[in-house]
Each structure stands twice: as structure tokens, then as C-alpha cells.
Structure 1
Amino acid sequence: MSRPGWIMARLAELQLAIIFLTRLPAGRMRDGSLSIGASAWAWPVAGVFVGGISALIYAAAWGLGLPAGPSAVLALGAGILVCGGLHEDGFADLADGCGGGRDRAQKLEIMRDSRIGAYGVLAVIFSFGLRASAITSLSDPLLVIPCLIGVAAASRAPMAVWLYLLPAAREDGLGHSSKQINGMAVIVAITFGCIFLLPLGGIAVLSVAIAVAIGSGAVAAFAVRQIGGQTGDVLGAVQQVSEVAAWIACLAVLV
């Protein structure tokens, strides 16, 4: 492939990542043959757009004199709106399925249900509450703003890792995109996830990377035990738990 062709292919994959992970206007895909898995390397880059918008809202709220708590809630709310609640929905579905299902088949059936149950509500409250309290605890915009961007990117890298490593739990759905992702895409995703953390300093990069690995690994192990592998909902839960873990790591090294 020529260099211009290679660049256009990567731009198409980045466009697909933005379309898949956000509600931002990114035009229409010209190449309908691309699978979601082909865009996995760019998922942390899409996260930068999400984190950047959250950071702008936080800075605006802070600039208007709002306290740290409301500023944090507005910043997180903006990120959720930009993503259409995609990851929160996946986390809630996994919690509902594994909390209410008796066996693998029933758990997967509940996860397909668009309705949310008590376990799902509690999971989302847990995620949002911990993230909001972490941002409030940092409070200094000079710390919060780069954290919002870096954490949004870093928490999306493990989705590529576990899409690649775990078997699909279903015969359809996002899980089969794992066939379109290769090891190099995973390495690039991890690299980008770390690069966007660099403004926080080397210790923070290492701490967040370890926390994200532990958090996402726990979700992956849980999913394998409960439903035999990964689904789109599992990847959403991976992102949410990774983001919570990343914020806790930021608190540990930056406060």
C-alpha cells in the first residue's frame, strides 16, 4: 500500500472509532467493509475528544465560579452525553445480567434486554459517584483538566486489549470484531493510552497503567467466569472500571 493510501486507511479507522464510541459528527463512512475491530488502535484517540470536551466544560464551570463538586458533575455529564452513555449502558447490562441470571444463557439474555434493573442502576451510581468524588478531591483545574483528557484516553485502551485476548461470548455482536484486530493495533492503543497521560508525570503514567491493568483484568476474569468471554457490554464495563481505577490512581499520586 502506498503511503497516501496507508494514511487514508488509518484516517478511516479513526473516523470509525469516533463514530462508534461517540456521538460527535464525523461524517459518513466511505468504506463499509471496515469492522469495528479495525478501529481499536484509535479508541484512546477518540477518548481524547471525549476528555477534551469534559475538560472544557470543567474549565468553564470553574471559570464561572462554581465549586468543585458541581463542576465535576457537569464535566462527567458532558462526557456521558458525548458518548451517548455507551459505556455506562454496557456496565449496567453486565451488572444486571450477572447479578440476575442463573446460568450463562440467561445472563446473556438479560444483557440483551434494553431495560435496566437494580444491579445496573447501582453499577452506574458506583461508577459516576467515584469519578465525581475523585475529581472533587483533586479540585485544582491544573490537575483536573489533564487528568480528564488522559484518563479518558487510557481507560479506552484496555477495551482493545480484551477484545483481542478474550473469546467472544456470543456468536454475533461486537465480539466477532476480535477477528479484525491484531496485536499491533493493541500495542498502538496501549501506547496512545500512555502518551496522553504524560502531562501528569512519569509516576502518574505508571500508577494509572497499573491501576487500569488491574481493574480491567478483574472485569475480564469476571466476564470469562460468568459468561465465557467478551461482548460489547463487557468492553463497556472494562472502560468504566478502568476509568474509576485510573482516577483512584491519580488521587494516590497527585494529591
Structure 2
Amino acid sequence: MGDDNQAQRRSIFLHALRSALIDLAVLLRFFSRLPLPPLPFEDDPHGRPDFARAAPMLPLAGMILHAIGAIVLLMMLGSGLSPLIAAILAVLALTWSTGAFHEDGLADTADGIGGGGNRDDKLAIMRDSRIGTYGTVALVFSLMLRVALLASLVERSGAVAAALVLVASGGLSRVAALWLAVALAPAHSDGAAFATGAPDMRRYMLTAIIAIVLAALLVTPMLGQAPFIAGLAGNLMAGRAAAQLAKRHLGGQTGDIAGATQQAAEIAFFLAVTMLAG
């Protein structure tokens, strides 16, 4: 009887582990250009993630992607480059690895909300692949702020601390973006926001707790509690502000405004951390 129970527990554990690894792989493929091969036990390696189920793996996926930028940052600083040049190359590597996935959403959102006269016009502009003035300005300021804040944090707190903050921001900013899917219905019935689903509040809270704990373990040993708490507050406020903006202008959420929210939350986290970092 004891052997049967042990075998059953092992089977349950292996099934949960396989499900978690599949969710992580699907999320990494969805958010990046990483050439991840299909897992041996994966049925649909090219499918979109189901956030109703896969949300708890989102913080880890975001941190893995931002670890690419952190590694480049440390390598460039180790080779003797200045913090500014190292930060530029780190953000470039991160943008390349994601295929400018979130940057595209930021540009489309800025063009739609800035240039559209009503809800339908704004949504139509956001679906247009061409970039306009509002989108260009938003992209320029986003990239400049991310580079400048990363370089400033290197100068204030050192290379390792800046790299760890960069990794932490990858999980927290994506959880902030996921809040839109929880708080608002999709603005389209055929877009990515509709197809990928949304977690319920309980699962979202679990996801947020995972992201906060992982980020705290990375940031607080290097910088202390105050910068982390300030960064977390900035991250959360960016998510809530984006949800209000989406509701007011679009009557719902889209994949584009989720991407814009990730960018805003990352910047808000870095800005608050950098202001209080020693």
C-alpha cells in the first residue's frame, strides 16, 4: 500500500513538472525569438500560451528573457566598456531576443491613443503595421530611459546589482501587464488578448506573489528593502494606470497595450529603484 501511494505521488509530481515545463517553454516562445526545440512530452509546441493555466510560470519566463540582457551587461562591463555603452548593448540584446515584441505594442498603443478620434479609430490605428509620430516618440523615450536608468544604476550600485534588478524587472513588469487581462475584457474578439485567455483573480495573485518573492530574493540582498519596495510600488502603479487608460480609450485590453504596459512597468520599477539606490 505504501509503495502504491509513493508511486502515485511520484506520478502526480512528474505530471505537474511536465505541465510547468511545457507552460514555460510556450511562454518563452511566445515572448521571444529563442529557438527552443519541442519538449519530448509536448503535444503542441507552436501553440499560444493559455494564461488561465500558465500564468504562474510567467515571472520565471520574464526573468529568463531579461537574464539575456543582464549577461550582456556584465560581459560588456567586464571587457572595460563604459556603463552607458554596456547598457545600450544590453537593451539591444534584450530587444533582439524578444523581437521587439513589447516595443511594437508600445508604438502601436501610442499611435492609436494619440492619433485616434474615437474607440474604433484607435483600435484600427493600433492594428496598422505602420508606425507614426506618436509611436516613434514613445519608442525613442522608452529606449533612452531604459538605457539611461540601467547605466545610472551601474554607476550607483555596481554591475551585479544592476544586472539583478534587470532580471527582476522581467518578471514583475510582465505580471503588471497581465493585470489588464484580469481587470478588463478583450477589446477585440479575434486578437491575441482574446486567444491567450486570462487567469482568475486567485491564480493572478499566486502569479504576483511568485514574481514578488523571486524579485525580492534578487534585489534586496544587494540594495536593501527600500529601493525594492519603491520599485514594486512603481511597477504596480504602472499596471493600474495602464488598465485605466485602456478602459477609457479602448473599452478593453489588447495585446498591444499589454506590451506597452510591460515597457511602462519596467521603466517605473527601474526609476524608483535607481532613485533610492545607494
Q: Is the 8 A contact 1:17 1:36 kept in 2?
A: no
**Structure-to-structure mapping, 1:12-161, within 5 angstroms:** 12-28=22-38, 30-32=42-44, 35-37=49-51, 38-139=53-154, 140-161=158-179
Structure 2 stretches lacking a partner, 5+ long: 1-10
**Cα deviations by residue, 1:178-197 (Å, 9 ceiling, x for unpaired):** 64523343123212321232
**Cα deviations by residue, 1:132-173 (Å, 9 ceiling, x for unpaired):** 111121222032111111112211111222212211111111
1:72 and 1:186 map into 2 onto residues whose CA distance is 32
- Aligned equivalent of 2:3: none
User: What amino acid is aligned across from residue 50 of structure 2 in structure 1?
Assistant: I
1:4 and 1:243 map into 2 onto residues whose CA distance is 34
Structure 1 stretches lacking a partner, 5+ long: none
Q: Is the 8 A contact 2:179 2:239 kept in 1?
A: no
Please report how far the alpha carbon of residue 51 of structure 1 lies from its aligned counterpart in structure 2 after TM superposition: 1.6
Bigger shift: 108-117 or 188-197?
Answer: 188-197
User: What amino acid is aligned across from residue 17 of structure 1 in structure 2?
Assistant: L
TM-score normalised to the size of structure 1?
Answer: 0.93
Please report how far the alpha carbon of residue 114 of structure 1 lies from its aligned counterpart in structure 2 after TM superposition: 0.8
- Aligned equivalent of 2:186: 168
1:93 and 1:254 map into 2 onto residues whose CA distance is 33
User: What amino acid is aligned across from residue 119 of structure 2 in structure 1?
Assistant: R
Compared CA separation, residues 193 and 67, structure 1 to 2 (3 A) = same
- Which residue, 212, 221, 228 being the options, matches 1:194? 212
Could you say what the CA RMSD is over the residues aligned between the two structures, in angstroms?
1.8
Q: Is the 8 A contact 1:146 1:200 kept in 2?
A: yes
User: What amino acid is aligned across from residue 246 of structure 1 in structure 2?
Assistant: F
Q: Is the 8 A contact 2:181 2:198 kept in 1?
A: no
Please report how far the alpha carbon of residue 208 of structure 1 lies from its aligned counterpart in structure 2 after TM superposition: 1.6
Please report how far the alpha carbon of residue 231 of structure 1 lies from its aligned counterpart in structure 2 after TM superposition: 0.5
User: What amino acid is aligned across from residue 192 of structure 1 in structure 2?
Assistant: I
- Which residue, 224, 232, 235 being the options, matches 2:258? 235
Bigger shift: 44-53 or 104-113?
Answer: 44-53
Q: How many residues align?
A: 255
Q: Is the 8 A contact 2:48 2:196 kept in 1?
A: no
Please report how far the alpha carbon of residue 47 of structure 1 lies from its aligned counterpart in structure 2 after TM superposition: 1.3
TM-score normalised to the size of structure 2?
Answer: 0.86
Greater Cα radius of gyration, structure 1 or 2 = 2
User: What amino acid is aligned across from residue 83 of structure 2 in structure 1?
Assistant: A
- Aligned equivalent of 2:4: none
Report % sequence identity.
30
